[in-house]
Structure 1
């Protein structure tokens, strides 16, 4: 790993460690304040909000590191801002539809949750472009640590599922305010004065991101949403709560380490001078991630059932066997998560979208087959087994990639 990339990763990792340690440490208290059913309702609403927020700017924000000139970057920022506001407004109609169709009690909070998630993702890429890694670390601390603290306080006031939603939403909005400190050229107010013709030209310039990366990102988030819908419909809100708690803790290392690594990997990939250097950087990243993932999976496989019952209380005991069943999938996901930026840097988003569709089919085949055969724990084993071949193919393809475009190399 290059020294500059290592420093950036460690800066982000330090902030992320503190940010994620707070909600993880507060987890045992939260599970004693909120019932599994409450976690299930929150997880479903939050998954829907995330599903929309992940494409809140039509993925144009991921083109920001490609724009080195400040006026062009400001135009792209203006485009992202206008799209995000439109998507947030549209999510209000989605929330109303969910309330009428399913009676989802938390649907009223959907627009605010979408705005929080979309703004954090957009402004994270803005800070990444300018390499304000310290600011990124501070924002994560506010978002995750502050959000969990608010959830704890609202839970003590018996706020129910709404306490989980409001805490997470407020944490996201505060983090967005932190990330908004470095203003683009012309200031934040200047974003609304950008001519429509220039925004249209900018949208055309980076059209691959909405056309190819948006479906990919939406389908990836849709996987979490549909999983919770299926679990709630098949086995009840409590099962969705068990799954949500397991994923919250099992994916924490990927969010912590993988998120920090991907934010530093993306600009460094764009700066590599040859295809050989680019492939070598990706291979070294894979090996580093695999070395971390293997012992984590071993711990889950050996002690998962005992750990979850001890930490979260007996009402959460079913989460332990589920965690053991998901150990292999979690290890593979940990390696794959930061590598999503590779296909963006290499302009291979069409390929990534096609492969992601295959992955979706494999995931739900394993989930549904496991549910039918062995209930909640069977679903975990089904997902782990079905995703093994998919991830193996993905890793091999990236490690041997040959068609790296010249414009992605410095």
Structure 2
């Protein structure tokens, strides 16, 4: 019997080669921390995420000198609108794809999600064509009216990318997902810089962010057509109706929860933008910079978690798997977040320009909020795995009320405390989320402490 039953024969031979001992030691440490399969999947996604974030962050010092805080304020309102609508663009049938009982159900859910995304975008386009100025006025940003046509386009691309990414996640096609994150970043940055130098603001900022978030859908779509032709060929109208009925809990409970969740995150920003556009611009830059360490590992781990959680749940190992994921998030994620909070007030004026120093201060305040969100968000899908969609809806409604209420009260009190109110309320919400997710995965407090 081998001395190391978890290592392959090739790995055992490599251990005897002095030149490769250091590499194998590192691999062994990673394996102990996360498990071999999860390490491989996470590292594939991290590679793409790192590449995408490096491209985006490297361009930001140029972007902040080409676009003003007021341009970023318009971007914040645009992104908030697109994000809220995109959350329900597929009626959450996209989220059901990885947890579908078989590939036939998953294929029907994919097509269903794409069709609904098209319908949602068309409805949005009709609304923009009929009442662009009125919609921009309701958003508190009349200057956004000429660019509102980007909203339905962004909704369609974001919804399609989400559905195709969940399909690729089910197939564990993590290499393709990683590649899309690099190509999206390159396309988005190129657009922002080119149009910024041409003086086309704020269009360049909005179009660049649109591509940065969803351009990879084309690659994932081609992969699905090439690799999964048999499963997709079996899709029928009758099957679509059956899939809609079988997974109706997602539009009934998950869609409202997603909309409320996005409203809780984005409506406070819209309120801040209406009362103080420049503050909204500073907040957006701070959030984008803080998203770098979060997206580096958090989103990658989330993709792997959702691909394996249903299997672990059926095997009775969901609690241990969730605990392993949370420990990895703490060990690998807290350092970058804390470092960003310490250095941001010093580096922001140097890196992004003197007018962006306020954004650096906001980053320092955001660390507790982002830390709790970083740990809780990747394992939030445990609520869907164990069938607690209703509880998730109630939890999300609580978060929206707390965050929107806090910012609204601060706005009526003069507006100076709006960002502080949003940060404090968000930290409270994600702290409560973490406790609920722990309970839902049947983890015991003693296990977490140990």
User: Do both proteins adopt the same fold according to a TM-score greater than 0.5, normalized to the shorter chain?
Assistant: yes
Summarize deviations over 1:266-298 as a string: whole Å, max 9, x none: 121111166762112112222222334443443
Equivalent in the alignment of 2:261:
220
Match of 1:48 among 65, 71, 81: 81
Match of 1:397 among 415, 420, 436: 436
Does the alignment pair 1:287 with 2:293? no
Equivalent in the alignment of 2:361:
321
Equivalent in the alignment of 1:408:
none
Deviation at 1:373, TM superposition (A): 6.0
Aligned residues: 399
Provide closer, same or farther for how the CA distance between residues 99 and 187 of structure 1 changes in structure 2, counting only shifts above 3 A: farther
Match of 1:5 among 15, 25, 38: 38
Deviation at 1:375, TM superposition (A): 4.4
Summarize deviations over 1:189-215 as a string: whole Å, max 9, x none: x58xx5433211110111111111111
Alignment partners' CA distance in 2, 1:182 and 1:124: 10
Q: What stretches of structure 1 of length at least 5 have no aligned partner?
A: 405-410
Does the alignment pair 1:182 with 2:224? yes
> More deviation in 348-357 or 295-304?
295-304
Deviation at 1:387, TM superposition (A): 3.7
Provide closer, same or farther for how the CA distance between residues 274 and 66 of structure 1 changes in structure 2, counting only shifts above 3 A: closer
Alignment partners' CA distance in 2, 1:399 and 1:305: 34
Provide closer, same or farther for how the CA distance between residues 86 and 2 of structure 1 changes in structure 2, counting only shifts above 3 A: same
The answer on whether the counterparts of 2:407 and 2:421 sit within 8 Å (CA) in structure 1 is: yes
Deviation at 1:20, TM superposition (A): 1.3
Secondary structure in 1 matching 2:149: helix
Does the alignment pair 1:152 with 2:190? no
Deviation at 1:5, TM superposition (A): 1.6
Alignment partners' CA distance in 2, 1:169 and 1:375: 30
Equivalent in the alignment of 1:112:
153
Does the alignment pair 1:17 with 2:50? yes
Match of 2:273 among 221, 232, 237: 232
Alignment partners' CA distance in 2, 1:232 and 1:273: 43
Match of 1:38 among 71, 81, 94: 71
* TM-score normalised by L of structure 1: 0.90
The answer on whether the counterparts of 2:285 and 2:359 sit within 8 Å (CA) in structure 1 is: yes
Q: Structure 1 residue runs of 4+, over 6 Å off? A: none
Alignment partners' CA distance in 2, 1:254 and 1:402: 22
Deviation at 1:35, TM superposition (A): 0.7
Alignment partners' CA distance in 2, 1:53 and 1:402: 28
Deviation at 1:370, TM superposition (A): 4.6
Larger radius of gyration: 2
Alignment partners' CA distance in 2, 1:338 and 1:233: 31
The answer on whether the counterparts of 1:296 and 1:331 sit within 8 Å (CA) in structure 2 is: no
Q: What stretches of structure 2 of length at least 5 have no aligned partner?
A: 1-33, 444-450
Deviation at 1:68, TM superposition (A): 5.2
Does the alignment pair 1:140 with 2:173? no
Alignment partners' CA distance in 2, 1:3 and 1:316: 43
Equivalent in the alignment of 1:169:
210
Deviation at 1:227, TM superposition (A): 2.0
Provide closer, same or farther for how the CA distance between residues 141 and 187 of structure 1 changes in structure 2, counting only shifts above 3 A: same
Equivalent in the alignment of 1:201:
242
Alignment partners' CA distance in 2, 1:266 and 1:316: 37
The answer on whether the counterparts of 2:380 and 2:437 sit within 8 Å (CA) in structure 1 is: no
Mapping of residues 234-273 of structure 1, within 5 Å: 234-235=275-276, 237-272=277-312
The answer on whether the counterparts of 1:329 and 1:383 sit within 8 Å (CA) in structure 2 is: no
Match of 2:423 among 384, 387, 391: 384
The answer on whether the counterparts of 1:301 and 1:325 sit within 8 Å (CA) in structure 2 is: yes
Does the alignment pair 1:302 with 2:342? yes
The answer on whether the counterparts of 2:330 and 2:375 sit within 8 Å (CA) in structure 1 is: yes
Provide closer, same or farther for how the CA distance between residues 284 and 403 of structure 1 changes in structure 2, counting only shifts above 3 A: closer
* TM-score normalised by L of structure 2: 0.82
Provide closer, same or farther for how the CA distance between residues 202 and 362 of structure 1 changes in structure 2, counting only shifts above 3 A: same
Provide closer, same or farther for how the CA distance between residues 94 and 256 of structure 1 changes in structure 2, counting only shifts above 3 A: farther
The answer on whether the counterparts of 2:195 and 2:204 sit within 8 Å (CA) in structure 1 is: yes
Secondary structure in 2 matching 1:352: helix
Deviation at 1:340, TM superposition (A): 2.0
Secondary structure in 2 matching 1:317: helix
Deviation at 1:230, TM superposition (A): 0.6
Equivalent in the alignment of 2:5:
none
Secondary structure in 2 matching 1:8: helix
Equivalent in the alignment of 2:133:
99
